[in-house]
Chain A
Amino acid sequence: MYRYSEFDESFVRSRVAQFRGQVARRIDGSLTEDEFKPLRLMNGLYLQLHAYMLRVAIPYGTLDSAQMRQLAMIADRWDKGYGHFTTRQNIQFNWPKLADVPDMLDALADVGMHAIQTSGNTIRNVTADHFAGAAAGEVADPRPVAELIRQWSTDHPEFQFLPRKFKVAVTGHPDDRAVTAAHDIGLRLVERAGVPGATVLVGGGLGRTPMIGKVLADFVPLADLLPYLEAVVAVYNLLGRRDNKYKARIKITVHETGIEEIRAQVEAEFAARKPLFSGVDQEMLAAITAQFAPPVFEPEAEGDYETWRAADPVFRAFTDTNVTAHRAPGYAILTVSLKAHGATPGDCSSAQMRVLADLAERYAHDELRISHEQNVILPHLPKRHLKAVHDALLAAGLATANVGLVSDIIACPGMDYCALATARSIPVAQGIALRFEELRLEHEIGPLKIKISGCINACGHHHVGHIGILGLDRAGVESYQITLGGDGGPDAVIGERTGPGFAYDQIIPAIERILRAYLALREGRHETFLDAWRRLGMEPFKAALYDKEEARADAA
C-alpha cells in the first residue's frame, strides 16, 4: 500500500502544531470566532447542531489495519465510540471537544492521516472507485492518479481560494463506481492505442442545481494529465463567479460560458502550463504506481468455498449479495454492509472498526476501503477465508446480506447532526430498512439504490438515487420529496420529481407504494426497478403514490 513521504509527515505535523496554537488562542480569547472559523474549517472542524464535528479524509477510500485501529482509538478516546463514514470517503467524528481536536489530529498524523482540505474552497479529498485494483474488468487502478492529484492539490498555493469547493473523482472501471459525472471534475481512465489516459468530465455536481458532467476532453494522455487539470482549475479560478456562492461552482461556469469556450480556454492554458511541468510529475506518478502494486495473490485461494456455499444457505445469501468478482482467480471483493436493518447508515463502532482491521490484517492483505455508499470493503480476500470472515462478521453484527438492496441506503446526517439541514434523513433510512425487513421483500425487489439528503445540498446524493428522498421544511414541519429514475453510473441521470412531498409519517408508506407498484408492473425478476422505470416512465408510479383510491385499497 502507499506510504506517505517524509515531506507529508512534516507538513502535516507542522499544520497540527499551528492549529494547536490557534485553538489555544481561541480559547483564551485572543482570536474571535470570525477569525477562528476559517482556520478551524481549514482543519476539517465544523460546528454542527449539538456539537463540533471533525471530518477526516480517507483519500480514495484506502486504509490499512493500523489506520482503521487508530480511527477506533480516536473514537473511544475523544468521541463517543463510533465514527460516520460519508459519501466523500471521509470519516466524521460527531462529538469532539474543541480543546481535544489538536490531539486527535496528532493521533491521525501518527498513521499518515489528516483533515486538511476536507472543508473550504479548495480541491477536496480525491475520491475513487472503492474496488480499485481489485475488480475484474478494470482498465487501470485509479488510485495512483488520485494520489498524484492529492499531492499536487494539497496546499497548492494557487488553489487555496477557489470560488467554491472543488471535487475530483477518478474511476478506472467502465462500471463507474465513483459517480464521476456528479463531480466538478470526473476522470475516467481509458487506454487508446496502448497509451494510458483519461476522459475528462467537467461541471457535474448535485446540490441546488444538479448537473451531469460534460466531456471536456475525450482523451488526455496520462503524461499530460496534471498540466491539463491545472489548466481546468486555473480557468475556473479565473471565470468562476464569486458574487453568489450558489453560482460559484464550475457547473455554473460551464453552463454560462459554454463547454466549447471553456475547452478553448483550457487548451490555451494547457499549452502555456505544459512546458512548466518538467516531467517530475511523471516520475512521481511512476513512483506512486510502483507503490500501488497489487499484493502477491495466492495461487490456491479458492479452498472449499463452493462446498460451503452449497451447504449453508445463510453463507450463500451473504456471498450472493456482498461478494463482487475479483480479477485474481479464487479471490473475492467483500463488501461489509454498515446498513444493518435499523442501524444508522455509515456508522461504525470502534469495536466494529477493530474487527474489520483484524480481518483485513489476518486474511485480506491488510487492505480496507471505504465506499461512497458508506460501506467497508475487503478488496483482496482469498475465498478460502470467506467462511472464517463471515463467522467473525456475524459475531460483530456486520454480516447483513443487503449490499445493493433496499436497505443499503445512503443517508446524510440530516437534522440529527447537521446545522444546515431542513429535515432528518437517518430515521427515514432506518424506518425504510426496518419496514422492508419486516415485509421480507428486499431480496424479491432486488437491486435498488435509495439515497436520502436532509437538505438541498444533496450530500446524500438523492438526485442520482433510483429512488431519491429530499427532506424539506414546509412551514415548520418535516416534509419529504421523492425523485425517481436517478442513476450515478456511467450513463448518469438526475432523477425526476414525483410531485408533492410527504409528511414524516407518510414517507415510508409512500416508498412502499412505489415498490409494490414496481413488483406488480415488472416483466419478471430480471427487470430491475431502474429498468422498469425506464420502460414505464413516471405515470404508473405517480398513480401508485398519489391515487387516494388505490392507496386506500392497498391499505385495506
Chain B
Amino acid sequence: MPPRPYTPKVLTANALLEGDVVWLAADGHWTRRMEDAALIEDEASAELHLLDAHARAHEVVGPYLAEAKRGPKGPEPTHFREAFRTRGPSNYPHGKQEGR
C-alpha cells in the first residue's frame, strides 16, 4: 500500500488542572479555542510538536494530533468527535460553549 499522504493537523490535549480541551498555538501556548490553534501542515513538524507536548506533561494530559482543515477564522475540525471537543456536550450548555 502506498503511504497515506499527510493531511493537516492540530495538536490537542486536555489541560492538567481543569481537564478541558486545549490546542497548541503557533507561539507555543495552549489555547482554549481551536481557531487560535496552529494548523500543522508538514509531517516532520507534527512529530516534533507531539514530542514536545509529551515533554510538557506538567501542563497537559494525553496530547495527540487531530485532523483539521483551514477555515476562514482558523483551523476547523474534520471529524465530529473533534467538533464536539470544540463545544462541549449536547445535553447542557456546559464546557466551552458555556463561555460564548
Seen from chain A, the residues whose Cβ lies within 8 Å of a Cβ on chain B are: 26-27, 29, 32-34, 47-52, 80, 94-95, 97-99, 344, 347, 415-417, 421, 424, 426-427, 430, 473, 476-478
* Bound: A432/B78 CA distance, A: 28
Assuming A97-B17, A97-B19, is B85 touching A50 (CB within 8 A)?
yes
Name the A residues within 8 Å of B62 (CB-CB).
Answer: 33, 47
Name the B residues within 8 Å of A416 (CB-CB).
Answer: 84, 89-91
Q: Say whether A48 contacts B91, CB under 8 Å.
A: no
Name the A residues within 8 Å of B20 (CB-CB).
Answer: 50-51
Q: Say whether B58 contacts A50, CB under 8 Å.
A: no
Q: Say whether B18 contacts A49, CB under 8 Å.
A: no
Q: Say whether A51 contacts B19, CB under 8 Å.
A: yes
CB neighbors of A among B23-71 (8 A): 57-58, 61-62
* Bound: A194/B18 CA distance, A: 56
* Bound: A337/B28 CA distance, A: 49
* Bound: A83/B37 CA distance, A: 32
Assuming A97-B17, A98-B18, is B61 touching A47 (CB within 8 A)?
yes
Name the A residues within 8 Å of B21 (CB-CB).
Answer: 49-50
Q: Say whether B80 contacts A476, CB under 8 Å.
A: yes
11 further A-B contacts with Cβ under 8 Å, apart from A97-B19, A430-B91, are: A26-B16, A33-B57, A47-B14, A47-B61, A49-B21, A50-B19, A344-B92, A416-B90, A426-B91, A473-B81, A476-B79
Question: Which partner residue on chain B sits nearest A430 by CB separation?
Answer: B91
Q: Say whether B19 contacts A98, CB under 8 Å.
A: yes
Q: Say whether B85 contacts A49, CB under 8 Å.
A: yes
| Cross-chain contact of A51 among B84, B90, B95 (Cβ < 8 A) | B95
Q: Say whether A27 contacts B16, CB under 8 Å.
A: yes
Question: Which partner residue on chain A sits nearest B62 by CB separation?
Answer: A47
Question: Which partner residue on chain A sits nearest B95 by CB separation?
Answer: A50
Name the A residues within 8 Å of B61 (CB-CB).
Answer: 33, 47
Name the B residues within 8 Å of A52 (CB-CB).
Answer: 19
Q: Is B88 an interface residue (CB 8 A)?
A: yes
Assuming A98-B16, A477-B80, is B90 touching A426 (CB within 8 A)?
yes
Name the B residues within 8 Å of A94 (CB-CB).
Answer: 94
Name the A residues within 8 Å of B84 (CB-CB).
Answer: 49, 415-416
* Bound: A473/B91 CA distance, A: 20
17 pairs of residues in contact across A and B, judged by CB atoms under 8 Å: A34-B57, A47-B61, A49-B21, A49-B84, A49-B85, A50-B95, A50-B96, A51-B95, A94-B94, A98-B17, A98-B19, A415-B84, A416-B89, A416-B90, A416-B91, A417-B89, A477-B80
Name the B residues within 8 Å of A426 (CB-CB).
Answer: 89-91
Assuming A47-B62, A49-B84, A416-B84, is B91 touching A99 (CB within 8 A)?
no
* Bound: A32/B84 CA distance, A: 28
